[in-house]
Structure 1
Amino acid sequence: MTLKSLARNLLPPGLYPLALQVAGKSADQQLKKYHQGGRIPWSEGYLIHKTQAVAAAIRDRDLLTVFRDRRPLPKNYGLGLDERCVEYPWLFAHLPETASTLLDAGSVLNHDYIVSHPYFDSRRLHIVTLSPEAMAYWERGIGYFYDDLRHLPLRDEFYDAIVCLSTLEHVGLDNSIYTRSSDDIEAKSTDFIAALHELRRVLKPGGALFISVPFGTYQNFGSFQQFDAALLNKAIAAFGPAQVVEKTYFKYFINGWQVATEADCANCEYVQSDEWFTQTPGKPKPSDGAAAARAVACVHLLR
């Protein structure tokens, strides 16, 4: 398979032209163009800039303490970046030191700059996702399962902690973009409930579940949905009785990401990546610089 066909198979259609544009260019060349071009989300160099920013954030102990304590984030934090710049540090600020066996439900951790974090050096990590991805890190001892979160092929009460970031919003909807199979074109917007039942089943009593979803006004884009307060509460209820239910909200402002309240985020609308590089008559590019979700809800549940 050529790099061109690999990119076409793995990337959303809107980002495929960008992949062709940057092919053969060094990271430094792409970053230079990103900064000289005004740091536009999803433009050439954006993904490298985001990767570097997140990799630094999850290794900054002082910053992780800020996330753990839910204190105001530094000025201009995550300016022009999507929600991963708050989801990952929030997660690493809360991952339990006592956990030895973890499940990544949705493959959000399947990146070198994530799995190379010292936290995973002495821990067992399994990743479950619908289909194989371009990268896999078997040499690190990571196990992969290719299956549906609604029907996990895993035994009861096995994991000390489960991570499910930016995944529940896709469950039961059109996931053919990832699997290239028409069988995965669905419109079952409440099937995240079945996934949560399964996550609870495979989580040990006293184990921690970490979830995040794009948050604000309800929107359904076919391949994913943005949660509102009612849907988020339905998800938490689906998990069942919990010793701890801790909700943290982050909102994107014109000067970057910041800790917020549920009310602050209630009317936020999602920015699809196509809005940045597809010219739609009468529709300007996002004036606040938001790259994707304008708000995200991060929830820590203790079974």
Structure 2
Amino acid sequence: MAEITKTIAYLQQKKIIRVECHRKNFRTGLSIPIYSLVSEHSSLNTTHRDIDRLDLDELLAGVLSERVVEYGFLARNLLPSRSNMKILDVGSEQSALTKALSKCGKNKNWDVFGIDVARGLPQAFKEEKDESRHLFIRMDARFMGFRDEVFDKIICISTVEHIGIQSSHYIVGEYDVLGDVKALSEIFRILKKSGRVVLTIPYIDRSIRGNHKEHRIYNSYTLSKLISRFRVKRKEFYIYIEGKWKSCKLKNIVNKLQLIGNSEIPSYLHSRVCLCLLLEK
């Protein structure tokens, strides 16, 4: 399966195939891309509508991790979008997501910022390719150097669980048990009134023990502490089972996890359960 995914990603990058349409799998609830060969003149058919839409097909080419459901949730919850928005991607490194967001808002004059503490990231790195505007900054999410209430939307995809935890990949000093809480407090501070946050985290029910030395796994108690200052506008759970991500109700998670037992999950996943949240200030 991994080899097939890599091949599809390669063919997309070379613009040999493209996504023609999507078909919903009613058993899993996920949308499946249907591919076709790229015609010689297909690039001439790009419309403003294509630019204004987050390019999930390109973002997810070759991806098997939680991003499969996280990016879909993000795309559905970018709306309502308007002109001249300021968007922050927390934990971006120099990711394709920040660039895709900038491209998506090209006709609406969005300013997109990406921050991270990854080693090797320059202090500030600006790109204005094809008139899209995005800026990468090396910055600790616990101590952000932005003024109050400056961002319309803030995105935090599979990031907050790492904040304050030591790792060879990130510039982190001593372990900070409240690193994630501090980051959400900063996000609240720099978010405009009625601004929205797309937050995704690994999740597990309190009745089932689970942890990982390189990231936190949240439960109902730790989650309530983390997002106590926000209003929850939308909440979606996804569980990785039988080699697929499936939408799942909270009440069914425990039973499904108990049925799976102690079977190992792929190393590229943070947890069997991914929680996607839309929060509002």
| TM-score, normalised by the number of residues in structure 1 | 0.63
**Counterpart amino acid of residue 98 in structure 1:** R
Correspondent of 2:251 among 240, 254, 263: 263
CA 1:91/1:234 → structure 2, altered by over 3 Å: closer, same or farther?
same
Match of 1:126 in 2: 113
Work out which of the residue numbers 107, 121, 142 in structure 1 matches 2:92: 107
Listed one character per residue, the Cα deviations across residues 79-107 of structure 1 (whole Å, up to 9, x for unaligned) are 99211100011101101313611001110
Cα distance in 2, alignment partners of residues 158 and 125 from structure 1 = 12
Letter in 2 for 1:34: E
* 2: CA distance, partners of 1:61 / 1:159: 33
Which structure dedicates a bigger proportion of its chain to helix? Answer: 1
Residue-by-residue CA offset, 1:178-229 (whole Å, 9 max, x unaligned): 33xxxx2533233211111100000000100110011115543232111122
The C-alpha deviation readout for 1:227-250, integer Å capped at 9, x for no partner, is 12221122121xx143x4321111
Q: Using the alignment, how far apart are the partners of 1:60 and 1:86 within structure 2?
A: 20
Distance in 2 separating the partners of 1:246 and 1:116: 21
The unaligned stretches of length 5 or more in structure 1 are 1-30, 40-44, 270-283
- 1:179-194 matches, cutoff 5 A: 179=171, 184-194=172-182
Cα–Cα, structure 1 residues 80 and 95, in superposed 2: closer, same or farther, change >3 Å?
Answer: closer
**Could you tell me how far 1:141 is from its partner in structure 2?**
2.2
CA distance in 2: counterparts of 1:111 and 1:176, whole angstroms: 22
Q: Which residue of 1 aligns with 2:226?
A: 235
Q: Does residue 76 of structure 2 align to residue 98 of structure 1? A: no
Provide, for residues 13-52 of structure 1, a one-character-per-residue CA deviation record: whole Å limited to 9, x for no partner. Answer: xxxxxxxxxxxxxxxxxx9x813xxx7xxxxx49947x97
Q: In 2, distance between residues paired with 1:197 and 1:60?
A: 42
The question of whether the paired residues in 2 share the 8 Å contact of 1:157 and 1:201 is answered with: yes
SS at structure 1 position matched to 2:177: coil
Asked whether the equivalents of residues 154 and 198 of structure 2 are also in contact (C-alpha less than 8 Å), the reply is: yes
Cα separation, partners in 2 of 1:205 and 1:84, compared to 1, 3 Å? same
Q: 2:72 aligns with which of 79, 89, 96?
A: 89
| Aligned equivalent of 1:254 | 242
- Normalising by structure 2, we get a TM-score of 0.67
SS of residue paired to 1:199: helix
Equivalents in 1 of 2:238, 2:20: separation in Å? 19
Distance 2:20 2:159 in 1: 25
- What is the distance in 2 between the residues matched to 1:86 and 1:189? 28
- Deviations for 1:253-280, whole angstroms, at most 9, x for unmatched residues? 21521111223335859xxxxxxxxxxx
Alpha-carbon spacing, 1:185–1:61, altered in 2? closer, same or farther (3 Å): farther
For 1:138, the equivalent position in structure 2 comes to: 127
Q: Which has the higher strand share?
A: 2
Q: 1:251 to 1:103 in 2, by over 3 A?
A: same
Counterpart of 1:172 (choices 164, 179, 189) is 164
Aligned match of 2:215: 224
Contact 2:99 2:134 in 1 (8 A): no
After superposition, the Cα gap between the structure-2 partners of 1:112 and 1:81, relative to the gap in structure 1 and judged at 3 Å, is closer
Residues 1:297 and 2:275 aligned together: yes
The whole-number CA distance in structure 2 between the counterparts of 1:90 and 1:109 is 21
SS in 2 for 1:249: strand
2:194 aligns with one of 173, 195, 206: 206
CA distance in 2, matches of 1:163, 1:146: 16
Classify 1:120/1:93 alpha carbon distance in 2 versus 1 (closer, same or farther; 3 Å): same
Please tell me whether residue 73 in structure 1 is matched to residue 30 in structure 2.
Answer: yes
* Cα drift, residue 175 of structure 1: 3.3
Equivalent pairs counted in the alignment come to 231
Identity %: 22
Q: Cα gap change, 1:118/1:144 in structure 2, threshold over 3 Å: closer, same or farther?
A: closer
Instruction: Give the root-mean-square deviation of aligned CA atoms.
Output: 4.0
- Structure 2 gaps, min length 5: 34-59
Match of 1:10 in 2: none
Does the Cα contact within 8 Å between 2:22 and 2:32 map onto a contact in 1? no
Residue 147 of structure 1: aligned partner? 139
**How far did 1:146 drift?**
1.1
